[in-house]
């Protein structure tokens, strides 16, 4: 059989809606790009995005800022993190997560994961008790939502505040409750490869008025906090406005306008991702030698990426397998690689974590984990072809074994 070839790029996103283009041109013509450059009692685009997302998420307060990672950073500070404090977080995540802890003056304490990519609750409990950590930065890495009832019950028992990193779970849920509505605070990313695409950007939500006030002050509001679209009442700011450092990270109106234009289609786009994911999942899971960990039926995830393991291959064969897929147009990333590449890195490449722990369960779970991006520019036929390419390459490796 001739070799199959896929020819679309894995980084191409859909066009930004026409409504956003029109609004951006209006903003450019006005010159009023800064979120506080308003006239009279009008709301800026940034404030309107805060209102829209708070309503969508079902949270009282929302802050629009420069990135999801920046949102995590100021959320940790707003939750009371002090210099030198330890913060628990997943060993399987992306570099901005421990980076946010480090930027906020904290020390990351990495927690093991299981074969399903979820936090090991026994290790979480042990490390919570052996550290002085009062915060869990829960990274819902690649959209994998654990049993949030069990997790929150344990965190409440341990006295841990929970900060949810929802960069990959916007639109997802556990037993019908939206991801980002479990912890005290949650941060979302609007970076190009996320579920709202503004190039860069972040949204932070909470129901805690004091935390929300600190977030707004930290973001660089000066004394213009009344111009935020989903903020606490002005009197909440009185006792903290002069003691909360300005760490400028405001969202501008252009990015906010781009995000606002995509909000009405968010749930429909999540469904589109899941239809593509289902094709890829069913095709890849049917291939001998490839494994996709089972997901709980109570998890409503958004399938903007897919993780699988070529369990029948040796570790030494993984680079050649990735290269062979790439030669036929299918781009895969490897979370088990001992050298960081592009967006992908393993916990032991973050050398600023001291002491560096040895986490055998995490290394085992990641050693053969491959990552497949699922952009909405792919249609159903594309997904069938991608699955067929992976099946063909795997078949060749199995024959040569």
Q: Do domains 18-264 and 266-400 have the same CATH topology?
A: no
State yes or no: pLDDT of 38 exceeds 90: yes
Residue 347 · residue 91 · CB < 8 Å: yes
pLDDT tens, position by position, 178-204: 999 999 999 999 999 999 999 999 999
Residue 55 CA to residue 67 CA, distance in Å, equals 20
> Residue 174: which pLDDT band, with cuts at 50, 70 and 90?
very high
Burial of 372 (0-12, 13-18, 19+ CB in 10 A): buried
| All residues at 6 or more sequence positions from 111 whose CB lies less than 8 Å from its CB, including other chains | 88, 89, 90, 91, 119, 120, 123, 124, 127
In the chain, where the domains are located: 18-264, 266-400
The number of angstroms, rounded, from the C-alpha of 395 to the middle of its chain's C-alpha atoms is 33
Is the pTM value of this prediction over 0.75?
yes
pLDDT tens, position by position, 1-23: 799 999 999 999 999 999 999 99
Cis status of the peptide bond prior to 292, with omega within 30 of 0: no
State yes or no: pLDDT of 363 exceeds 80: yes
pLDDT tens, position by position, 266-313: 999 999 999 999 999 999 999 999 999 999 999 999 999 999 999 999
- Residue 80 phi, psi dihedral angles, 5° rounding: 105, 10
∠ CA 191-193-198, rounded to 5°: 40
C-alpha atoms less than 13 angstroms from C-alpha of 95 in its C-beta half-sphere: 13
Over residues 53-74, mean pLDDT: 98
Residue 68 CA to residue 70 CA, distance in Å, equals 5
Per-residue pLDDT at 144: 98
Q: Which single residue is written with the structure tokens 């570099």?
A: 95
Give the CATH architecture of domain 18-264: 3-Layer(aba) Sandwich (3.40)
State yes or no: pLDDT of 338 exceeds 90: no
CATH for 266-400? Answer: 3.90.1150.10
Q: Which single residue is written with the structure tokens 């979480």?
A: 124
State yes or no: pLDDT of 99 exceeds 70: yes
Per-residue pLDDT at 401: 59
Q: Which single residue is written with the structure tokens 């066009």?
A: 15
State yes or no: pLDDT of 85 exceeds 70: yes
Q: Which single residue is written with the structure tokens 């989903």?
A: 230
> Residue 342: which pLDDT band, with cuts at 50, 70 and 90?
confident
Pairing of strands 370-373, 135-139: unpaired
Per-residue pLDDT at 341: 83
**What rounded mean pLDDT belongs to the chain?**
97
């Amino acid at each position: 059989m001739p070799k199959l070839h896929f020819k679309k790029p894995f980084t191409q996103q859909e066009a930004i809606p026409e409504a956003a283009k029109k609004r951006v041109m209006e903003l450019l013509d006005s010159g009023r790009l800064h979120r506080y450059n308003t006239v009279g009692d009008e709301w800026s685009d940034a404030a309107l995005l805060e209102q829209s997302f708070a309503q969508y998420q079902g949270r009282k307060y929302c802050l629009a800022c420069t990135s999801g990672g920046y949102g995590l950073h100021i959320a940790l500070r707003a939750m009371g993190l002090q210099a030198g404090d330890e913060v628990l977080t997943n060993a399987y995540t992306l570099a901005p997560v421990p980076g946010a802890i480090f930027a906020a003056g904290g020390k990351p304490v990495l927690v093991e994961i299981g074969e399903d990519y979820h936090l090991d609750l026994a290790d979480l409990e042990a490390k919570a008790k052996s550290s002085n950590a009062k915060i869990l930065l829960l990274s819902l890495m690649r959209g994998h939502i654990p049993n949030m009832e069990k997790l929150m019950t344990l965190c409440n028992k341990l006295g841990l505040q929970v900060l949810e990193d929802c960069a990959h779970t916007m639109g997802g849920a556990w037993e019908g409750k939206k991801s980002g509505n479990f912890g005290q605070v949650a941060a979302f990313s609007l970076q190009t490869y996320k579920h709202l695409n503004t190039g860069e950007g972040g949204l932070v939500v909470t129901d805690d008025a004091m935390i929300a006030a600190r977030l707004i002050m930290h973001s660089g509001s000066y004394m213009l906090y009344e111009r935020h679209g989903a903020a606490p009442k002005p009197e909440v700011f009185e006792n903290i406005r002069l003691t909360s450092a300005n760490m400028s990270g405001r969202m501008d109106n252009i990015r906010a306008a781009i995000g606002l234009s995509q909000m009405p289609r968010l749930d429909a786009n999540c469904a589109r991702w899941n239809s593509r994911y289902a094709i890829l999942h069913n095709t890849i899971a049917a291939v001998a030698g490839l494994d996709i960990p089972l997901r709980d039926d109570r998890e409503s995830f958004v399938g903007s990426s897919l993780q699988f393991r070529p369990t029948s291959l040796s570790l030494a064969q993984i680079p050649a397998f990735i290269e062979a897929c790439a030669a036929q147009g299918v781009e895969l990333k490897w979370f088990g690689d001992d050298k960081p590449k592009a967006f992908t890195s393993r916990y032991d490449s973050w050398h600023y974590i001291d002491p560096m722990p040895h986490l055998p369960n995490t290394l085992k779970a990641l050693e053969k984990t491959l990552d497949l991006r699922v952009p909405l520019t792919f249609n159903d036929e594309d997904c069938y072809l991608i699955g067929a390419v992976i099946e063909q390459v795997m078949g060749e490796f199995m024959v040569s074994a």
